[in-house]
Amino acid sequence: MRKILTLLLLCLAILTAGAQKKREFRGAWIQCVNRQFEGMGTEDMKRTLAYQLDELQKDGVNAIIFQVRAECDALYPSKIEPWSRFLTGQQGKAPSPYWDPLQWMIDQCHRRGMELHAWINPYRAKTKVTNELAVSHIAVKHPERCFDYDGLKILNPGIPENRDYICQVVSDIVTRYDIDGLHMDDYFYPYPVAGLTIPDDAQYRQHANGIRDRGDWRRHNVNLFIKQLYETVHELKPWVKVGISPFGIYRNKKSAPAIGSNTNGLQNYDDLYADILLWINNGWMDYCVPQLYWEIGNKSADYDTLIRWWNQHAAGRPLIIGEDVERTVKYKDLKNPVQNQQAAKFRLHDQMKNVDGTVLWYAKAVVDNVGGYGTMLRRKYWRTPALQPEMTFIDKKRPDKPRKLKPIWTEDGYLLFWTAPKSKKWNTKAEKYVVYRFAKGEKVNINDASKIVTITSNTFCKLPYENGKKKYTYVVTALNRIHAESKVAKKTIKL
């Protein structure tokens, strides 16, 4: 009996290997702080980004996280902060020919069916590689609101005005731009450096509010900011998702035996004063992307150990894994040394019931197909389209189903047309449509991702007509802004 059960499980594993998920966040980070665009020029940067987006689309990516504020600057025209030097080479200098990279990226991503999440670094006011700040920069206008640390300038989280300032910047972005998400990474209080202390004695004396432990006070400062930022975004546009990508270790077991992971590295809670689990449990973020950049088998921070820890503890919001592409292909699979660790990591993703996707660090490594990573995405792991993870905690309403499905011959071929459902509210308005196809005799099952033909913002889909002798059932559903799906509309068509 045991042998039969083992055989059945093996057969099931073979059948489900490489099975496509219907809902999955498939993201990639495009950063500016590495200076890949600095001084490139408008047209060259557009060509570079367009090529990256084309390749990422082929790889199955459905969300781009684009860095637009690296050091209290802007990769978009702003009346609050200066143009970024990572765009033009000089902070405060507008691009020439003039353009708006953020708006351009929104248009390009939406045209390709991708979401665009604007990525900001909240507190960092100057990186180590920046030597000159524009006269309009916050650290020049209000140096008393920043502190220096290891070559950086940091907006002091202990000063309440800084929370308001960052939220003002975020409000400006959310109000003016049709972004799908607002994203922050792991930089809150600065990464600790041996021998250096954070110079916040004066702020602690002034704003301690009875909190006796300095670490608790610093965490309280960041907690207040995260809550304020989340409320700021959702009061303006409830559909804009707030995502945070923390460092991969929350706490080590030796620091917190009851909840810590069996790791030995820098900690969000203790070293960066970022209490990620509190934010998740309080609903102050819409998705979490822990940066699990290590390899399986790492002695201090084993990837296997960490993905299981996050799967267990961070399920209050969609859990999306931050992957280091170059490190993944650099290390050998511990069980099959002839291949890299990409397959082993994706198997772990499939085994974790609370993992809702992946964000790839970084986009260019995928585009360059380092270690064949991109090839495997498009041929195996992400070969069919995917909807975004459900977020009913934002809103539970759905659009009505599409209306008046009808196949029509046109000069462009045989097309299936439909009409959008009527709505004036964001949560019931159809923004995109999912088209499924089922052969004669197949049960209509929209949970089968392999039956998705396309996810489109058009109200038509081209039909692959052959000789008009085979019957297919086409199903079309409507999606709202957060990918809540309508009931089905069906049409049987001979192709």
pLDDT of 216 higher than 90: yes
Q: Mapped to the 3 state alphabet, what secondary structure does the chain carry?
A: CHHHHHHHHHHHHHHHCCCCCCECEEEEEECCCCCCCCCCCHHHHHHHHHHHHHHHHHCCCCEEEEEEECCCCECCCCCCCCECHHHHCCCCCCCCCCCCHHHHHHHHHHHCCCEEEEEECCCEEECCCCCCCCCCCHHHHCHHHEEEECCEEEECCCCHHHHHHHHHHHHHHHHHCCCCEEEECCCCCCCCCCCCCCCCHHHHHHHCCCCCCHHHHHHHHHHHHHHHHHHHHHHHCCCCEEEECCECCCCECCCCCCCCECCCCCCHHHHHCCCHHHHHHCCCCCEECCECCCCCCCCCCCHHHHHHHHHHHCCCCCEEEEEEHHHHHHCECCCCCCCECHHHHHHHHHHCCCEEEEEEECHHHHHCCHHHHHHHHHHHHCCCCCECCCCCCCCCCCCCCCEEEEEEEECCEEEEEEECCCCCCCCCCCCEEEEEEEECCCCCCCCCHHHEEEEECCCEEECCCCCCCCEEEEEEEEECCCCCECCCEEEEEEC
pLDDT of 2 higher than 80: no
pLDDT in tens, 56-98: 999 999 999 999 999 999 999 999 999 999 999 999 999 999 9
pLDDT of 11 higher than 80: no
What's the mean pLDDT in 170-178? 98
* pLDDT above 90 coverage of the chain, percent: 95
What's the mean pLDDT in 412-418? 97
Query: Is residue 15 assigned to a domain?
Result: no
Q: How confident is the model at residue 18 (pLDDT cuts 50, 70, 90)?
A: low
Considering the domain architecture, whether residues 134 and 62 belong to the same structural domain is answered as: yes
pLDDT of 308 higher than 70: yes
pLDDT of 1 higher than 60: no
pLDDT of 304 higher than 80: yes
Considering the domain architecture, whether residues 319 and 423 belong to the same structural domain is answered as: no
Considering the domain architecture, whether residues 194 and 332 belong to the same structural domain is answered as: yes
pLDDT in tens, 277-286: 999 999 999 9
Mean pLDDT of the chain: 95
**Total structural domains within the chain:** 2
Considering the domain architecture, whether residues 102 and 49 belong to the same structural domain is answered as: yes
pTM for the model stands at 0.95
Considering the domain architecture, whether residues 200 and 349 belong to the same structural domain is answered as: yes
Can you give the pLDDT at residue 422? 95
What's the mean pLDDT in 422-437? 97
Query: Is residue 456 assigned to a domain?
Result: yes
CATH number of the domain to which 169 belongs:
3.20.20.80
Considering the domain architecture, whether residues 37 and 99 belong to the same structural domain is answered as: yes
Query: Is residue 37 assigned to a domain?
Result: yes
Can you give the pLDDT at residue 19? 80
Q: Which domain holds residue 490?
A: 403-494
Query: Is residue 11 assigned to a domain?
Result: no
pLDDT of 10 higher than 50: no
Pick 425 or 16 by higher pLDDT.
425
